[in-house]
Structure 1
Amino acid sequence: MSDLLSVENLSVAYGSGAPAVNRASFAVGEGSVVALLGANGAGKSSIMKAISGLTPATGTVMFNGEDISTLPARTRVAKGIVYVPEGREIVGDLSVRENLVLGGYQKPAAERKRRMDMVLELFPEIAEKVDRQAWRLSGGEQQMLAIGRGLVADPKLLLLDEPSLGLAPLLVRRVFDRLATIRQESDLAIVLVEQNLAVTMRLCDELHFLRGGRIVGHRSAEELKDATARQQAIDAYLGAAA
């Protein structure tokens, strides 16, 4: 499997304090799901924003064989990198349909409509409320809308930041089931930021553990199917509370 994304020595700093991300390196193969796990403040979201071009960073970001390190966020979206931020950040006063249109603003109208129809088929919960204002949706429905809006852009790489945040366990399972369906039906690659190892294991191929802005460990999902290995990873990288 060839690498779709390659991140080398990525660093992000805010002001004069310690860097939020310190020389992080990892790769994402075509069609694979790679997870970044760690506590709050570990640097996970800063990595996502740096890859998407929303945060200044040093180091090298290669995408589809091209160095995109200096390209603006808009250009990265056009090349196939779409970021679904923590907290969803949908436009509450717009309808579900209008939010989806925003996701595909760079696409021709016919292609945008085709992608919107695909998303509404994937998430029937929001299809039933397509003309409702987005703020009136439940938390799980808003998360589905945020992911769906990203999918309308027809990404090659989807950056998902804490999709389980604030959701009840049943809704988390539902959202992750739909993500698994997307995996089965496309060659979409995903970088997934999470704190919950059990949820992450349902979807990902590889896991990178972060602490203090550094990647401190790496495991394959296959390795962590073993309960002993999984507990060792939790103890070493996430703490007993994970």
Structure 2
Amino acid sequence: MPQLPGGGGSSAIVSAIQSRVTYPLEALKRRITGRVFVSFTVSASGIVGDAQVVKGIGGGCDESVLNAVQQLPQFIPGRQAGQPVPVRFTVPVTFQITAPTAELAADTTQQIYTLVQQMPELPGGGGLAAITRAVQRAVVQPAAALASRQVDKVFVSFIVGPSGVVRDIKVVKGVNTDYNTAALSAVQHLPRFVGGKLLGRPVSVSFTVPVEFGRSVRIR
């Protein structure tokens, strides 16, 4: 069977798609949850194509999954009788809301600040340095980065809402598609924050962090 560069079988493929999925704002507002089943072909050369939603749930989730599949790296192709052959997959992608509706509504309507008296923090604290380290630890370095002698940086912005939910993740300064996608995926894996406060009131706060790529990158 075709494999991702790092192996891991079908579970790794599902995880790779899931990590590239962004929960659409419309789906969050309407509290749409469930599983999208997507079908795609890995060609004899390992290229992903012909992605189709077999069973969708709407709210922009179907389109988000198709976009995630298009971002998959080139596979190690499957073989039959020793010869490379095209193989078709159908996999589920899960959409699940963990924050209450009221919190999600607040997170999408509050004024956004860049500096407040009590900044949002990860559960273990540590400020911005801890946030940057957590993102860097979550990065899966693309093959090109592992072969590169130089260090490249992708700058990613995101908002931490009053309830600590991370949203609106964007690349503000990118390098290439693979690096940008890996950086966005790393931020999506951040845990829920302890929300920020201004004058004792929960508020939304924006962050911009660098994500480094290259074989010499070390987590500090």
After TM superposition, the score normalised by the length of structure 2 is 0.26
| Higher RCO (C-alpha under 8 Å, 6+ residues apart) | 1
- Larger % of helix: which? 1
- Indicate the structure with greater strand content: 2
TM-score by length of structure 1 reads: 0.24
